[in-house]
Amino acid sequence: MISLVLVGCGSIAKLAHLPALAQLRADGLVEIAGVCDANASAARAAAEQFDIPRSGSDWARMVRETGATAVSICVPPGPNVQLAIDALAMGLHVMTEKPPARSEVQAARMADAARAHPECVTMVAFNRRHAPLYTRAIDASRRLGAPHAFHGRFTRAALGGEPSNTAADWITSDGAHVLDLALATMGYPERIAVARHRSGAGPDNVWSLQLHGATGASVLVFDFAAGRRVERFEWSGPGYDVVLELPHRAEWSQRGADVEEWRASQLTGTEDFFLDYGFVDEYRRFVDAIAGRAQRPETSFAYGWSFMHLVDEILACRDGESRELAPPRAEVAGRSVATRGAEDVAAERGSGTVVEHALDAMGALEPGRRPVVCVLQDGSAQARYFNGALLARVTERCEWRTRGSGIDDADAIITGWGGAPLTREVLERAAHLELVIVIGASVKNVAPEYLLERGVAVCNTADAIGASVAEHCLLLMLAGLRRVTDVDRAMHRTGWPPNDQRLLSIKTLRRTVERVPPLRAMKPVLRPAARRILAKRNGGAGAGSQWSDLRGQVVALIGWGHVARHVAALLRPFDCELLVCSDSVSAAELARVGARRVQLGEALGSAKVVSLHKGLTERTRGMLGAAELALLQPGAVLVNTARGALVDEAALIARLGRGDIVAALDVYHEEPLRRGHALRRLPNTILTPHNASTTPQCQRRVGAQALEILLNWLSGHAVSRIDTERLVAMT
């Protein structure tokens, strides 16, 4: 008989683990030597409820005193890691609740500990694969042929709440069972794709995953904002189809036969939760493996490492992203991940036989050394930018140093908004440096030419910024077309401006002048004065340029970068004719967004709205001068959220003086824009103080993108770095 101590007396232990162990105790397979919990009173209550002789808070002492040979760990992921490692060091067999840890790095430590004690049986408690209905259905399936398609669904009524401990580790909830059952049925995937959605308040709570492998595909849906709790699994293979509703019911359909309904009670003789969900059979498998009556569990700590590798890959995927996976490999030449050196890593990478990101995450560049990451923003800026759960995943993998600690031994640096500039002299002292992440778009303050020459990866968070700036662009487009600022001023000044848009026009003045002979002779003098009066009276509406919809208009994007891509996406519902003036956009991307490539002249002359999205270089400085601005049609709106110096300022002021276009500007030649500047005096300008990307949401997005870049780098994946060609085109 196996003597076992249960550690952790929370709700899942009392609901499932202890009843399952009590059943095995009745069957003469297990002796429950004691229960432990950090809360001694919780342990005492559990011991009384299940008639267990000992309780306490010191599990190691209890093991020594009772002579127990196994432990079952029912504490949350993260705390279970060191517990499992310590238990293995005592020579104990270990089962731990799913998942084995909070990250692959932690799971790798558990796998290392298990590898160091091959005499010990280890098991991660994924009970659904032991549920009687699942084992019967999968055995019947494999007799006919391997499944080729799997669908898993988990829903829970938790609208607006956290799906699990934290938003980032949603997979530690019952969603982990869905993922595990997909692996048990279809094998480990070669490629994954992730989509996320938010329903109600709180974090992303509706997830869909696609797992593609050699035998077929799995589609998994996790909905933590549904109306009820459901666990439904379906798979099919040659000549059969299975529908499983755990824990109680299943349907089996086989070619040429009637659909059969199976119930768990028919297999177990009862409808007990802990039996139907597989807890009893799971423990029986663990005990039989310890006694040598069965093979070791498939869900060993080595499997736990591969499982958490997959979880980390899923969490690293951005919405809509897909990525290739390296094969699962919990052991490399029988050696511990934590003890291998740079030469081993280089050789294994060359042969393509290792999960690279697990090696880098463990600091394999030097034996025992963790990557050093220096963040140059102060504490308040970090609090604005960095999500706590995502930051926790990063700091598990590296030595995280804050501002003021020096960068000489840094492997990676985060700077940018709120961070100090980096000179070549300072960077030359950072001999280990491999990555610089700039929170923001411009990288000019980190000596980028030197870093690229040295082979250091330079990344920014331009895509995260682009989403907010694009919204600001759309705001300025609509405000310019609808003359919102003019109407607002008129409402404050006169109370109710005309709604029929019959504003005083040059045409009306012209008719008056023609009827009065003395005025006809003064036309050369009156014409410019009339334009100025009309511009002031009509708020810049000008002749023939009344308020306008955005829907159906021609919109020209001058340049094609992160912001322009987001703008194009935002314009899609408006059915605009989209023109793009750029040499860097591909024909395929133009086709995807429904745009047409044009030269600058056609863009300026054809569009109702022109939006600038170029970086500032010597070639683009002043690219819109008097000749180019003259091409703008009356009623056009010029939007500039890129760089002020893209436009010749004197030429722009002169063109605005005609009163027939609107300029909506967020950037200027000199910032801040001085009091009394001519742009401030023109009524047909909409001015914002270079704040297109200063929303709290943007700050969170740029921080998240910076941490995602860092996680990918720590994981050994390629990061989207700025190359020389792109650097030349940047501001």
Positions marked catalytic:
643, 671, 690
Residue 659 gets which letter from DSSP? Answer: S
Residue corresponding to tokens 């300072």: 426
Q: How many CB atoms lie within 10 A of CB 491?
A: 11
Of 155, 232, 152, 154, residue with least CA distance to 185: 152
Query: Under a CB-based contact definition with an 8 Å cutoff, are residues 456 and 435 in contact?
Result: yes
* Rg, Å, the chain Cα set: 33
Cα–Cα distance, 250 to 232 (Å, whole number):
9
Cα–Cα distance, 362 to 338 (Å, whole number):
6
At 348, is the secondary structure helix, strand, or coil?
A: helix
Query: Under a CB-based contact definition with an 8 Å cutoff, are residues 643 and 616 in contact?
Result: yes
Q: In three state form, how does the secondary structure of 484-524 look?
A: HHHHHHHHHHHCCCCCCCCCCCHHHHHHHHHHCHHHHHCHH
The tokens for 136 are: 């019967």
Of 723, 720, 726, 730, residue with least CA distance to 437: 720
Cα–Cα distance, 266 to 259 (Å, whole number):
17
Helix axes 79-89, 104-116, angle to 10 degrees: 10
Burial degree of 319 (CB within 10 A; 0-12, 13-18, 19+)? exposed
Label residue 322 left, alpha or beta by phi (over 0 means left) and psi (-120 to 50 means alpha): beta
H helix or E strand, kind and range, residue 379: helix 379-385
Pairing label, strands 577-581, 609-612? unpaired
Query: Under a CB-based contact definition with an 8 Å cutoff, are residues 605 and 582 in contact?
Result: no
Pairing label, strands 191-197, 206-212? antiparallel
Edge-to-edge strand list for the sheet holding 399-401 = 399-401, 372-375, 412-416, 435-439, 457-460
The tokens for 590 are: 């133009």
